[in-house]
Structure 1
């Protein structure tokens, strides 16, 4: 039996957790590659964002061809646009943060996202916020606070950017979950990539930033941009597939696992040793996620009603 087939036979909650973990691993690769592009090759953040999603779109075209024109048929174009606008803003803020803040601190600050997700999911998706879900999400946030030590002198104004990105992406996550009621995974992925391209192009043009090597780019530049694009396409698909089978609130602690994944990969690539606070904080995040998986693994994703 293939790994994909094995995943399909799992219970919805376990399958959603596995898919979210796969997305987290892919996003960890994206973040490390993005930081490399910004700090080692000097590519401006607006250019990274543009090529990241252009390449991901090209790689996703076979999926569109397989699904056919029906993948782009929708009665919810406005919702797609709102979702992509939130994502585009989050991407720009996130990439800018990665070029100014150590990767382990950026990811830790993004752990504020669960509070925004819970608020939005409760208000707009009518998802149940059980005591277990609330406490495990709170545990993940406390773990993040232990890691970043907000009482220290290491904060700069750039440290606030990941929090802003977290809020924007929380809105994006809830919109993604809402759209899975009406749209296929392929459709949501394609609209994301198609609409992001002109938005990122406009932001690049408005920034006035040039890319003098674009006419004769180096192998290093295109290699890193291609890596970012490939991993982005994979992460997008895994994440949307996860939201299609499990609640956004349930999945959030598994999304928190991107913290140790990013830190470990950043440690390997950049030799960026995290502070000693990282270890107890990461243990708390991982423990909370595994506990939630054990508690909810026997349940299927509950029916939820849209807010009127």
Structure 2
């Protein structure tokens, strides 16, 4: 009886957990610009301490999976996956530090499925169908509208969320490759264990770049380098909160995909766009541009179509962030 009850409640629980993940991710997207753009904390340092704290809070999840899941025949692919994931987060945080509004950051980050299609076609030998190509073109048009290319509102920083989406799309392609003979627990554990050291690596490389490059070669928000010293005062408390919320988001995702199918959960994941836009408006007074709404609908519609089309072609696999 209890098992039947649990199975019948799984869709409801999955939706609740997915909404929790969306809300917590939205909070991180509000805290990050406040800490970086508002308080002047370098984005690289912010992200590093964010993931140090998040990893500490995720230790129970790591212990539950067990380090036996680290046995693998593909260590370099796991490292590449973690590095690209960390780069995506760095690009995303740098976009916030550069003043790109939340609504634009989140909408453009949703171009990830189009990079997945490109990577799967080029590197996994998957066939480029008319449906995939058409959805990619529609999504690209939507991204151009949201980024406001050709207007005075467009800056080079507007490209940063697209670079983040390209990194995360590459992560998904590598995950798809590894999932052929790697357990989902192994994929999850490697990401949890490796992502913080990779943020540290990015910080070290940035510090070297600041030391050797001439003044003015790097943007002002990166030119301070990375000294591995945590922020102080109010910024420290906000970074602690940021790390806690990041860990909570990962827990919510883990719980959601444990109890419900990814196809069912996708519409709830797409709610991150209105959630982030609403919070950005309420907390940061960021009002979306007029072309945001039609562009966002094109991106959302194209990515949803891609998911539906892929689900009709192949069996569903467990999604691992």
Q: TM-score, normalised by structure 1?
A: 0.75
Residue 288 of structure 2 corresponds to which residue in structure 1? Answer: 274
For 1:81 and 1:183, the matched residues in 2 are separated by 14
Is 1:137–1:252's contact at 8 Å kept on the other side of the alignment?
Answer: no
Residues 211 and 175 of structure 1, relative CA distance in 2, 3 Å threshold: closer
For 1:263 and 1:284, the matched residues in 2 are separated by 16
User: What 5-or-longer segments of structure 2 have no aligned partner?
Assistant: 208-224
For 1:235 and 1:175, the matched residues in 2 are separated by 22
Residue 83 of structure 2 corresponds to which residue in structure 1? Answer: 85
Render the CA deviation track for 1:125-150: whole Å, top value 9, x for unaligned.
Answer: 45566555554454444333323321
For 1:50 and 1:157, the matched residues in 2 are separated by 24
Q: TM-score, normalised by structure 2?
A: 0.73
For 1:271 and 1:147, the matched residues in 2 are separated by 18
User: What 5-or-longer segments of structure 1 have no aligned partner?
Assistant: none
Residue 315 of structure 2 corresponds to which residue in structure 1? Answer: 302
For 2:159 and 2:227, the matched residues in 1 are separated by 27
Q: Please list, as runs of the form range in 1=range in 2, the aligned pairs for 1:282-293 lying within 5 A after superposition.
A: 282-288=296-302
For 2:7 and 2:41, the matched residues in 1 are separated by 40
Matched residue SS, 2:226:
coil
Residues 8 and 78 of structure 1, relative CA distance in 2, 3 Å threshold: farther
Residue 105 of structure 1 corresponds to which residue in structure 2? Answer: 104
Residues 75 and 262 of structure 1, relative CA distance in 2, 3 Å threshold: same
Matched, 1:260 2:274: yes
Choose from 32, 35, 42 the match for 2:33. Answer: 35
Residue 117 of structure 1 corresponds to which residue in structure 2? Answer: 116
Q: Please list, as runs of the form range in 1=range in 2, the aligned pairs for 1:45-84 lying within 5 A after superposition.
A: 45-84=43-82
Deviation (angstroms), 1:53: 1.2
Is 1:26–1:231's contact at 8 Å kept on the other side of the alignment?
Answer: yes
Residues 155 and 300 of structure 1, relative CA distance in 2, 3 Å threshold: closer
For 1:92 and 1:7, the matched residues in 2 are separated by 40
For 2:268 and 2:131, the matched residues in 1 are separated by 14
Residues 158 and 303 of structure 1, relative CA distance in 2, 3 Å threshold: closer
Render the CA deviation track for 1:107-127: whole Å, top value 9, x for unaligned.
Answer: 333344333210112333455
Matched residue SS, 2:182:
coil
For 2:164 and 2:303, the matched residues in 1 are separated by 22
For 2:315 and 2:21, the matched residues in 1 are separated by 22
Residues 21 and 6 of structure 1, relative CA distance in 2, 3 Å threshold: farther
Render the CA deviation track for 1:233-284: whole Å, top value 9, x for unaligned.
Answer: 344462897699669xx99998665433322221121011111222223344
Render the CA deviation track for 1:42-90: whole Å, top value 9, x for unaligned.
Answer: 2111111111211121122111222223222222211101111212222
For 1:137 and 1:252, the matched residues in 2 are separated by 18
Residues 123 and 49 of structure 1, relative CA distance in 2, 3 Å threshold: same
For 1:183 and 1:241, the matched residues in 2 are separated by 21
